[in-house]
Amino acid sequence: MKILLNHTSFLFFVGLFFSISACSPKLITKKAQKNLHQQIAHSPIFSQGFTGFQVYDPASKTVLYEQFADKYFTPASNTKIVTFYAAAKILGETIPALKYQIQGDSLIFWGTGDPSLFHPKLPFNRNVIDFLNSRTEQLFYCPDNFMDARYGTGWMWDDYPYYFQPELAGLPIHGNFIRIQGDRNSTNFNITPSYFTDKINGQPSLGGQTARFYRQEKQNIIDYNQQPVGKKDFDRSLPFIYADTLALQILQDSLQKKVHLLPNFGTSTANSQLIYSIPTDSVQQQMMQISDNFLAEQLMLLVANTVFDTMTIAKGIQFAKDSLLNDAPDELLWQDGSGLTRYNQFTPRSMVYVLEKIYTEIPKARWLNVFPAGGVSGTIKNNFGNNTEPYIYAKTGSMRHVRCLSGFLFTRSGKTLIFSFMNNHIPGSSKPWTEEMERVLAWMYEAL
C-alpha cells in the first residue's frame, strides 16, 4: 500500500523530525570516547591491576563507555549503595525502634535492629527512654526475633577490636562500642558507657601494639598503654562483646529501673505496637558519609524485621534482590550490608543499574544529602576539590587490594552521568588508583 503525502503533510513530518532531533540528548563524540578509552584502557596505573568501568547517561539511557563492565569485582563499601537503596525503599521516614505488647501487668518488647539508642554519632532521641520510663508495668525484653550471627559471613575474625567491626544485635546500645576520650598525657579517661569504667587495665606496654587502647579478644577488658601514644588527645571507639544481659544492664543503668530478660517467648505480632526513634535519612547519611559498617548491617536487619518481623540479614538481602532488584543485568552476589566480606561480588554495570534506580526513584535532594560530595564531605572530602561546586557525589569502597568509586557526575555542560569504577588486585598502596580515578573523572567533567 502506497502512502501519499501532500505538501502540507510533508512539511509536518520534516518539522516533527527536526523537533525530535533537537530534543534528543547529545551523545559522547567518537573523539571523546577514544580519549576516554585511552585514559582507562591504557592507563599505566590501571594496567597494574584489574579495572572495570562504566559511564551511563540516564537522560538518553545510553552507555557512553565501558570496560569489563560485565565482570565481577569485590565492591567493598560500594555495597552500601545497594543497602541505601533497599533501606530507602523498605523503611519509612522514621526508624522503628521497639515493638511491644502489654500482657496484664507486663510490658514485653522486642528490638528491631535500630542502631540509634545512645549512639554518640547519631541524633539523640528520647522516645524509647521516655516510653520505657513512663510505663508502670514490669519490663521484659525478648530477643527471639534476632536470628543472626554477631558477625557477617566471611568477616575477618582478627578485626574484632576495631571500630569498623562492631557486633550485630537486635537491640544495639551505644553503637555496641566503648568510647574512651581524654588528654594524651592523662589516665583520667571519660568512658562511655560508664558500665565499662572498671574494665580498663593499665599496662607498661601493649607488647608491640601501636594503639594506646586494645580490647582483649575474649572478654570486655581494655588494656591501655600507660605511656602516651601519638601527639593528639584521644577519642577511641572499641567494640564490646555483645550479650543480651549486658545490653539490659547498660539500659537499666540509664532507666534506673529493672528490665527482665525473657528468652524463648517467641516473635508474636498479635496486638503489637511500634515506637519510632530518629529519621531514617540520618542513619543513612552517617552510614554513607563515613562508611559506617555497623549502621549498614543494622539497616539490613531493620529491612528484614520490617518485612518478616524477624532479623536475618540474608533474608533482608534476598527480599531486596527478589522484589526490588530482580531485573539487574547480572546477579548480585550480595552477602552483607556493609561490604566487609569479600564474598560480595558485583559488576560495574550492576552498580550503575542500582544507581540509576536511586536516581529515578528517590528524590534528588535526599540522595544528594546522603552521598559524600567531592571536596566537601565524607570519604571524598579531600578529593575532587578542584571546582567551586561539588561535581562528584559518590561512594568509595576500600579494603586491601580493592579501591572502588561509584556514583554521580555533574558535568560542566549540564549533564548528570552515572559511573562505576571498580579496581581489584591492586598491588601495594591504593593511593595511585584514587588519584587516577580523580584525574579521569575531572577530565570527564570538562569534556562530556
How far is Cα 228 from Cα 205, in angstroms, rounded to an integer?
Answer: 10
Chain CA centroid to CA 355, Å: 14
Question: CATH 3.40.710.10 residue ranges in the chain?
Answer: 27-75+345-447
pLDDT digits (tens, 9 = 90+) for 34-73: 999 999 999 999 999 999 999 999 999 999 999 999 999 9
Q: How far apart are CA 197 and CA 143, in angstroms?
A: 26
Mean pLDDT of the chain: 91
Q: Do residues 352 and 360 make contact, with C-beta atoms less than 8 angstroms apart? A: no
CA separation for the pair 286, 314 (Å, rounded): 23
Task: Name every residue whose Cβ is closer than 8 Å to that of residue 318 and which is 6 or more positions away in sequence.
Answer: none
Q: Which of 7-21, 150-164, 172-186 has the lowest mean pLDDT?
A: 7-21
pLDDT of 21 above 50: no
- The Cα 335–Cα 318 span in angstroms is 9
Does the pLDDT value for residue 29 go beyond 80?
yes
Maximum pairwise Cα distance, the chain: 98
Instruction: Tell me the Ramachandran region of residue 97: left when phi exceeds 0, alpha when psi lies from -120 to 50, beta otherwise.
Output: alpha
Residue 309 C-alpha cell reads as: 518481623
**Spatial distance between the Cα atoms of 416 and 413, rounded to a whole number of angstroms:** 9
Least confident piece of the model among 140-154, 155-169, 192-206, 394-408: 192-206
The pLDDT of residue 208 is 57
- Quick one: pLDDT at residue 186? 76
Task: Summarize the confidence of residues 425-430 as an average pLDDT.
Answer: 95
pLDDT > 90 in the chain, percent: 82
67-97 pLDDT, tens digit per residue, is: 999 999 999 999 999 999 999 999 999 999 9
Give pLDDT, residue 387: 76
Backbone dihedral angles phi then psi of residue 108, each to the nearest 5 degrees: -105, 130
Model pLDDT, residue 159: 93
pLDDT at 210: 58
Phi-psi region of 241 (alpha: psi -120 to 50; beta: other; left: phi over 0): beta
Q: State the pLDDT confidence band at 227, using cuts at 50, 70 and 90.
A: confident
Contact by Cβ (8 Å): 143, 171? yes
Q: How far apart are the C-alpha atoms of 192 and 177, rounded to whole Å?
A: 9
Q: Which three cell numbers stand for residue 283?
A: 542513619
pLDDT at 381: 96
- pLDDT for residue 320 is more than 60: yes
For 393, residues 6+ apart whose C-beta sits below 8 A from its C-beta are 367, 368, 371, 372, 373, 374, 407, 408, 410
How far apart CA 423 and CA 415 sit, in angstroms, is 25
Per cent of the chain over pLDDT 70 is 92
Dig out the grid coordinates for 299 from the structure.
539497616
Residue 318: other Cβ atoms inside 10 A: 14
pLDDT above 70: residue 390: yes
Query: Per CATH, which fold does 27-75+345-447 belong to?
Result: Beta-lactamase (3.40.710)
Buried/exposed 350-386: b ≥16 CB within 10 Å, e otherwise: bbbbbbebbbeeeeeeebebbbbbbbebbbbeebbee
Predicted local distance difference test score (pLDDT) of residue 233: 82
CB under 8 Å to 293, separation ≥6 — which residues?
77, 164, 165, 166, 338, 339, 340
Residues in the chain: 448
pLDDT at 183: 84
CA–CA distance, 416 with 25 (Å, rounded to integer): 11
Burial of 416: CB neighbours in 10 Å, binned 0-12, 13-18, 19+? middle
Would the pLDDT of 209 be above 80? no
Grid coordinates representing 361 are: 526513584
Beta strands 234-239 and 50-57: pairing type? unpaired
The average pLDDT across 103-132 equals 96
pLDDT in tens, 329-367: 999 999 999 999 999 999 999 999 999 999 999 999 999
HSE-up (13 A, CA, CB side) for residue 26: 10
**pLDDT at residue 441, rounded to an integer:** 97
Backbone φ and ψ for 136, nearest 5 degrees, come out as -95, -15
Whole-prediction pTM? 0.91
Span 377-389, average pLDDT: 90
Contact 350, 73 (CB under 8 A): no
Give the lowest-confidence range in 138-152, 260-274, 305-319. 260-274
User: What sign does the CA torsion over 367, 371, 375, 377 have?
Assistant: positive
Say if residue 2's pLDDT is above 50. Answer: no
CB 305 within 8 A of CB 90: no
pLDDT at 1 over 80: no
